[in-house]
Amino acid sequence: MNSVATPGAPDMQELFPYADGPRLASATPDTGSIQLKWQNGDTTQLPWLWLRDHCACAECRHPQTRERLYIPLVPIAVAPEMNVINGHLRLTWADGHRSAFHGGWLHQRRPEVALPNVLPEASAWRDHFTPERIEHAAFLTEKGEQAWLTAILRDGLALLTDGPLVEEEVSRLAEKIGPQRATNFGDRFDVRSKPNPNNAAYTAVGLALHIDLPNWHHPPDIQLLYCLQNGASGGESLFADGVRVVEALRAQDPSALRTLSETPIDFRFQDEAHDIAMRAPLIDLNADGSLRELRFNNWIRDTLHLPAEQMDAWYRAYRTLWELFHSDEHQLEFTLEPGQMIAFDNRRVLHGRRAFDPNSGQRHLQGTYLDRDMLESRLRVLARQLH
């Protein structure tokens, strides 16, 4: 669907659809602003400088990139000439510059309502939560991909099923969304037991719940793990929702939540080629108290460098959070089958696995990371295409 409904209507250089909005009925000047009324009765008030700043003509917006060229530094002291023609606003400024605004676009962008947003809000896991399952073939369609993206951004976890057993499929699926996020383990990595490992994931031991790479300033956002072989005994996948568990911690022990969210600690990964370290709280909260991110990884916590009088409180709080995450109430367990790919929000959902016996069969997963920005971007583009 085109953004502009009819030929001759103002083109606002905006890809998100706006042409279905109501048309303007009237525009009335006020001191330093304009009063607008639409045919459905909605009203708003906009400053003249806001309108001049949002002119979408080729002088004010680059016609190819849609980036703003106008710089709003000069106050607008003289009201422009204004007309409502066919439901759209047309202005002539004191310097002779002409601006045209689509009535539907103005209605969509009025300050009384939220800007268009197709992204789902994060939702804490419910009792007996199971991840949304989307078939590989469906993912290759726009609607299936949209469902997959929505599930990850909403639940922090989604399962792709019935995929081909071919090397690098995880990379092909990831690059449908955006470029793979490279780390010190490469842009794509193999999870299997191997000699001389530099990470516990490359052994057969059980992995307690954790997020990957909390020792980075910006840990990877989204992790994809594609199962190619899983014939070994054991190795069940484990997951727990940080949103749900942090709320449980808030209800059970608010002082523990304060300790873990206000006390920076050290994380560090070292091998012969790398030494990557970061100091930050284990829990990071938004201004409203909701979870922003977790840095929960017992494997690569560095020395607990705190004043001695704070250590007991920190360890008590850590033990409480650990027990909540690893309780049956909050822990999800299942076996990842060949041809399945689990994707999860690495800064929200903790993951782990049971130990497995490498002598009982082959176990091979391929993994990569994506930036959350790419998932959100792709979901917005799909929303435009499917509108």
Those residues with Cβ within 8 angstroms of residue 307's Cβ, 6 or more apart along the chain or in another chain: none
* pLDDT score, position 4: 42
Instruction: Give me the chain's average pLDDT, please.
Output: 94
Average pLDDT of the residues in 113-139: 95
CA distance 180 to 223: 10
CA distance 101 to 253: 54
pLDDT of 33 > 60? The answer is yes
* pLDDT score, position 2: 41
pLDDT band at residue 96 using 50, 70 and 90 as cut-offs: very high
* pLDDT score, position 204: 82
Query: pLDDT tens digits, residue range 181-226?
Result: 999 999 999 988 765 666 677 778 889 999 999 999 999 999 999 9
The CA R_g of the chain, rounded to the nearest whole Å, is 26
* pLDDT score, position 336: 97
C-alpha 230 chain-centroid distance: 30
Closest to 52 (Cα-Cα) out of 25, 16, 22, 77 = 77
Q: Determine the residue type at 119.
A: L
* pLDDT score, position 199: 67
Closest to 340 (Cα-Cα) out of 365, 371, 360, 303 = 365
Closest to 275 (Cα-Cα) out of 199, 202, 215, 196 = 215
Average pLDDT of the residues in 286-307: 96
Query: pLDDT tens digits, residue range 244-291?
Result: 999 999 999 999 999 999 999 999 999 999 999 999 999 999 999 999
Element containing residue 66 per DSSP (H, E): none
Cβ distance 301 to 237 under 8 Å? no
pLDDT of 99 > 70? The answer is yes
Query: pLDDT tens digits, residue range 3-18?
Result: 444 668 999 999 999 9
Task: Annotate 240-258 with DSSP letters as a single string.
Answer: EEHHHHHHHHHHH-HHHHH
Which domains does the chain show, CATH number per domain?
24-108 (3.30.2020.30), 132-386 (3.60.130.10)
**What residues are paired with 207 via a beta bridge?**
353
pLDDT band at residue 138 using 50, 70 and 90 as cut-offs: very high
C-alpha 226 chain-centroid distance: 20
CA distance to 92, 233, 272, 327, per residue, from 297 (Å)? 60, 25, 21, 17
* pLDDT score, position 116: 86
CA distance to 156, 182, 221, 324, per residue, from 218 (Å)? 18, 12, 8, 25
Q: Determine the residue type at 50.
A: W
**What residues are paired with 273 via a beta bridge?**
none
**Looking at 67-76, 99-108, 187-196, 355-364, which range is the least confident one?**
187-196
pLDDT of 319 > 50? The answer is yes
Q: Tokens in use for 104?
A: 């539907």
Those residues with Cβ within 8 angstroms of residue 23's Cβ, 6 or more apart along the chain or in another chain: 38, 39, 86, 87, 88, 103, 104
Q: Which residue carries 């370290």 as its tokens?
A: 277
